[in-house]
A and B are shown apart, each in its own frame.
Chain A
Amino acid sequence: MAANGIADDSAKLQILKDALYDEIRQHGSETRLFGQQDLLDLNIIPRNDVTLLVRVIQALTDDKLLVGTTNHHAGLAWRWRSREEAKKYTSLPNDETVMVYSIIDEAGADGIWNRTIKNRLNMHEAVVKNCIKYLEQKGYIASMKNVEHPNKKMYIKATLRPSERATGGPWFTEGELDTAFISELESIVFEYIKTKSAYRGSQAQPGGAASSSGGAIKVPKKGAISSGEATPRGTKRAATDISTDDASPAPTLNTSRGGNAKSRAVFLPMPAGYNQYPTVAEIAKFIHDTGITNNTTLGEADIQQLVDVLTYDGLIEPVRVGRRRGYRVTRAMKQDTVPFHKRQKEREAGIGLDQPLVVGAEPLSNGLTEAPCGRCPVFELCEEGGPVSPSNCVYFLQWLDLEDVPAAVAPNVALPP
């Protein structure tokens, strides 16, 4: 009777278990927490029998199909776990392994440090090590790297991908900041903004026979912009053709770097009130359309981060026209008209290796940065009478071309008046 009762009871319990589990799965995702009242309200347990419910839940928890948690608001609550996952638990050989696995499981996408596991379980290190080794062999967990703590050995469930916080977002590759990727992308974004926010015209080469006897300022010669009118570049291009767009009068290195040509291509600032300066959304779209980042998805926030960096670098500046917040290149006139990737190719071909390849115009300079003192490593120590003094300064001798005294005579020595 008793045995029969128990068997009957356990069969009933099994039915209730399955019914409750299925019903719970219908009612929400794996992360949803179910309190006691929620479970009663599912109308599976007859007569809202709390003790029966407790037994059913106990059975489910034993099967690892329900996970109990304590919630600050609702008290004790449960969430369900899939049958495959539960099977993993039940297949584990001993309790220690189960405990280790459950802790890693709870950590979720952020992963957990092995020291934390040890401390939390208060187990011997060797035991934890064994468990982890077993779990890793089984392919249940995987080790991972967290960018915030690159030296900590972390573990994560093998089925999960590390969270953004752990990987550091799209800028990280295998826990390292991918500077090559960033700088490449920066140059592309900068190139895009440059061509979109400045007008490509041509300008007569100043200098040569231009005599400036009266005015202090050399004024460019008349009627220089003529080719520009035919091709209003920069304003009418679709975002996609930018990378293939350098077929048109790409000036040779010779002309753009101050050769003898009559006119050279320059970027000119747009008139005030220009409202087509590219916005972050447009840049993001452009990057998306070109498909440069095929295995990483870059959101607008990521592009914003990139654009901000360019702004901090002083290469671009934000402009607000009306409500549109666009970005434009700074010092448009001083920008290189040859696209950046072309310059890179030139470098590969061995041209222009003497100049450093950086995005944007050459930085401004002033008297201080030109003099040896402005960059002198021992500036603070330098004093007449000291071990380092202006009168025995080697940097100044270099700067004045006096280093190898007998050899070099300055080429254009001017006579004193």
Chain B
Amino acid sequence: MLVTKPVTELCALLIDELYGELPSRIFATLLSKGKSTLPQLALHTSMTPRQLRHGLAVLQQHNLLFYHLDAGAEFASYEANAEHAYNLVRIGKILEMIDSSFGAPAKDVMQNLLLSGQTRISDLVAAYQEKIEQANMAAALMGENGEVGSEANGVNGDSRPAKKAGPFVKSTAHLNSIICRLVEAELIDVVHPKTFESPADILKVVEKEVMDKYFPAGVKGNKAKVELQQRIAEGLRKVRGESKSLKRKLEQNGSAAKRRKLLAGLSGMTNGVHDDDMDPSLDPKQVIRINYEKCLVELRNRRLVQFATDMFSETTAYVYGVLLKLLTKDLPRCRPDPVMDIAEDEEENEKKGPGFVTTEQILDNLKTSVDLSLGIGKAEKRHISSSAAENIRQYPPEKKPKIEEAEVDGEASEDEDEDDEPSGEESDHDTDYKAPMMNGINGVNGTSGAKVKFDESAGPKEQRMDRPTQLRQHLLLLAESTQRFVRHCGPNEWTVDFPPLMNALREVELDSVIERTSGRQGLRLVRILRAKGKLDEKALPNVALMRKSELQQKMLEMQTAGFVDVQEVPRDVKADVKKSFFLWFCDVDRTLDRLLDTSYKTMVHCIQVLEALRQKEKDVLETTKRTDVRGREKDTMRKEYYERYSRFLECERRLFAQVARVDDLVSVLRDF
């Protein structure tokens, strides 16, 4: 993550918003001055060491700080963890994601973890113990009613103050099981000494270790360099693996974990069903924190599902969501680390990419209430070229597939004369030939008959397909899309090539920004340039079918906005402007970078506007801070005051929602 000025501002504002001004100021100083020791900080911030220590402690607690202590050094040097600071924006989204996929109790645990930063398990348990006891006492007092009331509250998924959350976690065993599940999903990982060191420091340490151990005489030759790289990658992976120690420990307990995994499925419905006592109790001294990397994977899945909803129907998007969930279960992060993971790939070529999911797996995880017949149109069978639909792409797009060429050729001639009156036999042959092959390979028992039914029932009811076929239809649709949502990588095997897909998504986001700011004609021009490369100004109007004057105006407008750029190529030495060529082009990467920067600034502006509003409504807000008013604002405040207050809250909500929406864009551009 590139820390630019708007990012610095944003991080400081976020920390200010959540943890107060003191840590925020220290953090901003750390970002602007770089790695600093305590005396240096004191110099830059003109704060007392005592204040600084307080602030640093808060930052440390929330993992917003790296520190490094060189052997023999007097002071540790601190460094800002901008990545985590930025992730504070996503807290709401992460909680919502946990809520929908793990249920409200898990969300509650996660929320507490977020509030208190990295926490020792025993502390968390103690906190909950107290709450549970309180809740039990309250329940005993109020009888059944209270219990039911708060339960309903939980289902709605509204945000509630933490004190009401008691009934969510029913016992410490329940808490334990929730933590176990989150750990297994890698959403929570373990804090170890190395987590406090910045990646650069870790790299330095590992490098030094490797040099001392394997190359005491220095590195000579290419072979040794490669080996060095591998050793370093290995060392880094080992460090990274440490935070997964708890997960490994849980997995060693085999059966219970596995069973729970099966039950966990994809919805929060299963919680409470399986018995909590099955879970191994966790080491109470273990310190845990949220693993943002894995959270991002989940958030990416959600974004992609939304993308699919935009492009297709909700049903197709739902199927896609299930597929993604299965596919990314063991995917630790969105983007592989350039140092660590590329070396890993070389080692074990098998594990390249996220693997694949079979149709049956998806089928097993679909909710039975979902009607798969929705969301896809129907066409007569003779209008469907199944060989084109079933096209298998064994390799990711950059590696040219050579296998299906012959197949396509053979079928193409058939296609051409099918235009008007395709003879039924011909296409029948098509499916006849295909269906047995599909069945033969994966052996979906019992469904094979239904698949051939396609051919038999020529009557009006032929469209009643069975569920696996319907599922396949959705998957094939996804695979056929221009965005390449899914790759049909083997018979009934599906995978997703994330990098090209995310590029497509990024382009879509960019396009929508362009379309919203420069109109459809602007979008047209940019896409022409993207397709054709550099284009002379004189050639553009012809392609775009636009008036020259309009076009020039639009191009200038978009140049100011940074979507396109122009290059002047003189025809001769005199460089006469009248004779020069003007080549328009668009640099997508640069535009995206610019968009990212704009997004940061927008977020900063949103928070600053909120701050301005706070200043404006200061008198009202101060009233609400009084203890006798708090919680009973509506009753105690004057009407006029209360209206101002509620209007302010509405604005606050909108502004935060807006920040979160812009973060959606930032995630797509930067993290996914």
Contact = CB atoms under 8 A, between A and B. Distances in A.
Interface of A: 171, 176-177, 179, 182, 198-201, 203, 206, 213-225, 228-229, 232, 234-235, 267-276, 305-306, 308-309, 312-314, 317, 319, 321-324, 330-334, 358, 363-371, 373-375, 379, 382, 384, 389-393, 396, 400, 402, 409-410, 413-417
Nearest to B463: A229
A413 B520 CA distance: 36
Given A177-B545, A391-B611, A368 B480 contact: no
Contact of A312 (B318, B414, B531, B649): B531
A317 B318 CA distance: 23
24 contacts: A201-B377, A201-B378, A213-B157, A219-B370, A222-B371, A228-B377, A228-B378, A232-B378, A270-B377, A271-B376, A271-B379, A272-B389, A273-B390, A275-B418, A305-B543, A314-B515, A314-B527, A317-B482, A323-B412, A366-B513, A373-B605, A391-B611, A391-B612, A413-B647
Contacts of A213: 155, 157
A218 B650 CA distance: 26
A220 B477 contact: no
Nearest to A211: B155
Contacts of A375: 516-517
B385 A275 contact: yes
A312 B313 contact: no
User: Could you tell me the dominant secondary structure of chain A's interface residues?
Assistant: loop
Nearest to B668: A366
A229 B378 CA distance: 8
B349 interface: no
B376 A214 contact: no
A64 to B, nearest CB: 39
B541 to A, nearest CB: 7
B377 A390 contact: no
Interface string B459-480: 0100100000000010011011
B548 to A, nearest CB: 8
Given A214-B269, A322-B415, A368-B595, 4 more contacts: A271-B377, A312-B527, A369-B516, A371-B606
A271 B100 contact: no
B267 interface: yes
B598 interface: yes
B54 interface: no
B480 A309 contact: no
Contacts of A176: 547
Contacts of A199: 376-379
Interface stretch (B30-38, B158-166, B184-192): B158-166
A217 B318 contact: yes
A220 B375 contact: yes
B317 A217 contact: yes
A269 B312 contact: yes
Interface stretch (B140-148, B285-293, B656-664): B656-664
A396 B369 CA distance: 43
B360 interface: no
B310 interface: yes
A116 to B, nearest CB: 18
Given A182-B545, A217-B321, A391 B609 contact: yes
Contacts of A200: 377
B219 interface: no
Contacts of A400: 609, 651, 654-655
A335 to B, nearest CB: 12
Given A271-B379, A369-B516, A414-B649, A321 B310 contact: no
A324 B386 CA distance: 14
Given A369-B516, A391-B611, A409-B643, A272 B476 contact: yes
B370 A367 contact: no
B342 interface: no
B477 A309 contact: no
Given A229-B463, A232-B378, A390-B608, A402 B100 contact: no
Nearest to A389: B608
